[in-house]
Amino acid sequence: MFTNKLLLSLKDVRLKKTGFQARQNSLGPFSVDVRSDERIAILGPSGAGKSTLLQIMTGLHEHTGQLEFLEKPIRQMNAQELSHKRAFLPQQHDIAFNLSCELIISLGRVAREHDPDLIQIIKDSARAACAEHLLDRSYQTLSGGEKARVHLARIFAQLWDQKKGILLMDEPLSALDPGLQIELLSSILNFCQDRSHALVAVLHDIQQAIEYFERLILIKDGKILVDIPSQPPPSTELELLYGMRLERISRPGRKDILIPSIHGSHARPDEYHACDFQ
């Protein structure tokens, strides 16, 4: 289906049993391939395993199965090697020390032994993340949305001068107002397109997922329900995922949108028994 370069491959990968929380041991197996230029949104109800899948993709979670990055087992790659091609933006942005925002953004470049363009990359990354005016601020004085922008600038800086890498983002827009969400989502997509980076993001906004991403990975109860193109909008699968009815609204010249139906918020499971999600 895809002809661009394979970046990341998960084959029967699951969370390694740790002895904690039986719920965690049920996650997986996950089998996913990610290629250059792809835009993939991970959707699912709270507690479904979205963030865990994303963290497994980073190699940060102990796991079983086969996980390869750039055709190499990720366990054989050191942190410096990974940092040149893989950037991860988690949900939480807590930092113990009151550092300047400029210094935090520069941490995206910490694995470079020689970085003559560091200052300019920090400024350009901050501008792309709408955070240029925050460079001289102390991190602890920022709002939640401002902190999110600074960390977005940090991962922009990390992959600023790289090609064919991957950005893994966990709810990158959740702390932002609607206007800034669209502005930063556009910036993220342009950043990735200009560098042939793949983008994998956990989202809660169905419309953002179907309008701006080309693939949807739908997760429920720690399993992948379906890995499907975002167009045409997979309303039946999304209704099953969230247990709610959706209405499709057509817009001439633009992609259709899905909104919760006013005629019923819950879809009955027996309405979907004949669906084939393979």
What is the average per-residue pLDDT within 216-244?
Answer: 94
Instruction: Look at residues 124, 121, 126, 152 and name the one whose alpha carbon lies nearest to residue 137.
Output: 126
Q: Which fold has domain 1-85+162-229?
A: Rossmann fold (3.40.50)
- For residue 3, pLDDT over 90 is answered with no
For residues 40 and 213, the answer to whether their CB atoms sit within 8 Å is yes
Q: Which range, of 24-33, 119-128, 185-194, 252-261, averages the lowest pLDDT?
A: 24-33
Q: First and final CA of the chain: distance in angstroms?
A: 15
Share of the chain above pLDDT 90, in %: 68
In this structure, what token pair is assigned to residue 50? 């979205």
| Angle at 198 (CA atoms; ends 197, 199), nearest 5 degrees | 115
For residue 37, the model assigns a pLDDT of: 92
- For residue 276, pLDDT over 70 is answered with no
What is the average per-residue pLDDT within 165-175?
Answer: 92
* pTM of the predicted protein model: 0.88
Whether the bond into 73 is cis, omega within 30 of 0 = no
Concatenating the DSSP letter of every residue in 54-86 gives HHHHHT-S-EEEEEEETTEEGGGS-HHHHHTTE
What is the average per-residue pLDDT within 243-272?
Answer: 74
What is the average per-residue pLDDT within 152-175?
Answer: 95
More confident residue, 1 or 18: 18
For residue 20, the model assigns a pLDDT of: 43
- For residue 273, pLDDT over 50 is answered with no
Count CB-CB contacts under 10 A for residue 205.
Answer: 17
In which band, very low, low, confident or very high, does the pLDDT at 23 lie, cut at 50, 70 and 90? Answer: very low
For residue 18, the model assigns a pLDDT of: 54
Residue ranges of domains in the chain: 1-85+162-229, 96-160
